[in-house]
Amino acid sequence: MKTVMMTATGGADVLAVMDLPEPSPGPGEVLVDIAASGVNFMDIGVRQGMSWLDMPLPRALGVEGAGRVAALGEGVTDFAVGQRVAWVYAPGSYAERAVIPAASLVPLPDNIDDRTAASLMMQGLTASHFTTDFYPVQPGDVALVHAAAGGLGQLLTQIIKLRGGTVIGRVSSAAKVDVAKAAGADHVIVDTKGNFVEEVLRLTHGEGVHVVYDGSGPATFHGSLASLRRSGTFCWFGPVLGGPGQIDIMSLPRSIKLGYAVFSDHIHTPDLLRARASRLFDWIREGALKVAPATTFPLADAAKAHLAMESRTTVGKLLLIP
Ligand SMILES: NC(=O)c1ccc[n+]([C@@H]2O[C@H](COP(=O)([O-])OP(=O)(O)OC[C@H]3O[C@@H](n4cnc5c(N)ncnc54)[C@H](OP(=O)(O)O)[C@@H]3O)[C@@H](O)[C@H]2O)c1
């Protein structure tokens, strides 16, 4: 069974395709034939040694995907062999097959194809948590969305729009403007150096935004703070691209709310996971949410997918196809 393993921590060259013995599911687990695996920034963080350090090397990478149940472990009664499923946070997802805890699986309805599901689990659950729990966007709110043409940014933009908000997107190149606009961004600013504040204030008549969604690293942090209106909310979420360093709480704008949002802390039971995934599938069925076709790479080209994501030239979701 082909699996992408990291042989050490480091650059994309530490990724290697290995032939591992066929796995079999233990109690409470399910063996899945993988149709598509999601590529996420957190995989790059794991590869660089930011987390999972207690797992032995070589280490199987990837946490997200969609596929079909191949075998059931003891005690699994809520899935059947042949059923289509998707998941997030199951280590070892860059593979032809993986053993996944049944509690991490979501059943897929017929109208959600495998690639859509594998594109939606991490970024869709994240975007819906950020916009409906962390800061429930209200009609009339103005939001600043960083990396608005990325997989997460496009979904954040669409959910803010369907809740009646206005989106100011920030992207790193002119080539991404049309993608952000197609996702629904009302205004798009091109910037990589943190020089977007003046334009945000101009677009908001000097008031600033109600909420900023920023997972884009240190370069944007202070500009995002300065873009907030009185009592605005800062949803910070990007550890892999780097934090702002130490913050002196006394130096923050008065009365803002600033937090590190992590969807998995809130969507922490199988029932919550399945309910939140179902809501995303409903939005897609109703035409309220669209997942743009992903950029795909053969499983063996996982290193190329990582390099592409790090090059900052990609838009939307990246998937590995076994
Ligand atoms: N807290 C959570 O629950 C959670 C969940 C999922 C993801 N995340 C975080 O969300 C962020 C997006 O991750 P994702 O996997 O969902 O991918 P993604 O949204 O598709 O992000 C890709 C975008 O990141 C931007 N980017 C790439 N390299 C960058 C760099 N060196 N500096 C700044 N921006 C860069 C690019 O946009 P531009 O070039 O246009 O700026 C690119 O479009 C990551 O920081 C990830 O750790 C957090």
The 10s digit of each residue's pLDDT in 167-179 is: 999 999 999 999 9
Is 96 among the domain residues? yes
Q: Which residue has the tokens 């403007």?
A: 177
The 10s digit of each residue's pLDDT in 147-157 is: 999 999 999 99
Q: Quick one: 38 and 116 in the same domain?
A: yes
Indicate whether residue 307 lines ligand 1 (CB < 6 A).
Answer: no
CA 18-9-309 angle, 5° bins = 80
pLDDT of residue 119: 98
CA of 215 to the centre of ligand 1 (A): 6
Mean pLDDT computed over every residue of the chain = 97
pLDDT of residue 48: 97
pLDDT of residue 298: 98
In this structure, are residues 148 and 157 in contact, taking their beta carbons and an 8 Å threshold?
yes
CATH number of the domain that residue 241 is part of: 3.40.50.720
What percent of the chain is predicted at pLDDT more than 90?
97
Atom number of ligand 1 nearest to Cα 122: 6
- Domain end call among 223, 238, 260: 260
Q: Quick one: 240 and 293 in the same domain?
A: no
The two three-digit tokens of residue 167, written as one number: 């989106």
- Domain end call among 212, 244, 260: 260
Is 134 among the domain residues? no
- Domains identified in the chain, total number: 2
Atom number of ligand 1 nearest to Cα 192: 41
Q: What is the pTM of this model?
A: 0.97
Q: Quick one: 168 and 246 in the same domain?
A: yes
pLDDT of residue 207: 98
Q: Quick one: 226 and 188 in the same domain?
A: yes
Q: Quick one: 11 and 88 in the same domain?
A: yes
Tallying the residues shown for the chain, one arrives at 322
Is 130 among the domain residues? no
In this prediction, residues 245-268 reach a mean pLDDT of: 93
Residue owning the nearest CA to atom 47 of ligand 1: 238
- Domain end call among 241, 260, 279: 260
Is 126 among the domain residues? no
CATH number of the domain that residue 271 is part of: 3.90.180.10
What percent of the chain is predicted at pLDDT more than 70?
100
Atom number of ligand 1 nearest to Cα 317: 20
Is 20 among the domain residues? yes
Q: Quick one: 247 and 277 in the same domain?
A: no
Indicate whether residue 196 lines ligand 1 (CB < 6 A).
Answer: no
Indicate whether residue 263 lines ligand 1 (CB < 6 A).
Answer: yes
Residue owning the nearest CA to atom 22 of ligand 1: 150
Q: What domain range is 37 assigned to?
A: 2-121+267-321
Between CA 30 and CA 86 the distance in angstroms is 12
Is 131 among the domain residues? no
Q: Quick one: 69 and 151 in the same domain?
A: no
Instruction: Specify the long-range contacts of residues 165-169, CB closer than 8 Å, at least 24 apart.
Output: 165/137, 165/138, 165/139, 165/140, 165/141, 165/210, 166/140, 166/141, 166/142, 167/142, 167/143, 168/142, 168/143, 168/144, 168/200, 168/203, 168/204, 168/209, 169/145
Mutate to test the pocket of ligand 1, among 41, 125, 129 (most ligand atoms within 8 A of CB): 41
Mutate to test the pocket of ligand 1, among 119, 172, 234 (most ligand atoms within 8 A of CB): 172
